Amino acid sequence: MSYDIESIKEKLKNRLIPEHYEHSLRTAGTAARMARAFGVDEGKAYIAGLLHDYAKSMSDEELVSQAERFGIEVNPVELAFPYLLHAKIGARLVESELCVKDKEIIASIANHTIGSVFMGKFDKIIYVADVIEPGRLYQGLDLLRRIALDDLDEVFKEAYAHSLMHLIRARKLIHPTTIEVWNRLVLKQNG
Ligand SMILES: [Fe+2]
Ligand SMILES: [Fe+2]
């Protein structure tokens, strides 16, 4: 399926504050470059990168009420930090408002914040592109950017570790799925 990128960008612009819109454009570019490096559909990765934060500019109240509308179960961590819901809700809205039906695109949007134990190449690309896009500035990014086009599993693991450490340093709650994903990564590494 081919997508009308200009019309998607127009709709995205109406949904997002300028800062989030610019971040989405940069994430799309990074996702496309990574897709090319790892033999994944570049055009699709661009669209997923573009749309990954579709629900990012919504207020906490709106996110919680959208979750209710879509019948998405909200756990106590998500209730305390409703922004976590922007991934799952964004996925549902992209499907219903933009008629994007591609399962890989939808799943990668839903998985881009907390992750999931069922992440494939495509999901990992979107997850990492979001973290390393050129507008991001924080310590440790150099390493991630250096390996981002060489070893997808490694860069994903490092990006995930980075997010987890950030949560701990900021004294934030950790979503139960995060623990599951992390344990799976460590078990896989240890064979
Ligand atoms: Fe996001
Ligand atoms: Fe993002």
How far apart are the C-alpha atoms of 99 and 77, rounded to whole Å?
30
Ligand 1 center–CA 93 separation, angstroms: 14
Q: What is the CATH number of the domain that holds 126?
A: 1.10.3210.10
In sequence order, which ranges of the chain are alpha helices (DSSP H)? 5-15, 18-37, 42-51, 60-70, 76-80, 86-98, 103-110, 121-132, 141-147, 152-169, 176-189
Q: Which two tokens stand for residue 137?
A: 């500035």
Nearby residues for ligand 1 (ion, Cβ within 5 Å) = 53
Containing 75, the helix (H) or strand (E) segment is none
Ligand 1 center–CA 191 separation, angstroms: 31
Each residue of 54-92: pLDDT tens digit?
999 999 999 999 999 999 999 999 999 999 999 999 999
**Residue for token digits 């310590």?**
139
Ligand 1 center–CA 57 separation, angstroms: 10
Each residue of 18-32: pLDDT tens digit?
999 999 999 999 999
Question: What is the average pLDDT score of the chain?
Answer: 96
Residues with Cβ within 8 Å of 41's Cβ and at least 6 positions away in sequence, in order, are 35
What is the number of domains present in the chain?
A: 1
Whether 1 has a pLDDT exceeding 80, the answer reads no
Q: Which amino acid is at 184?
A: R
Ligand in nearest proximity to the CA of 30: 2
Q: Which domain holds residue 182?
A: 5-189
Ligand 2 center–CA 182 separation, angstroms: 20
Ligand 1 center–CA 157 separation, angstroms: 18
Ligand 1 center–CA 130 separation, angstroms: 7
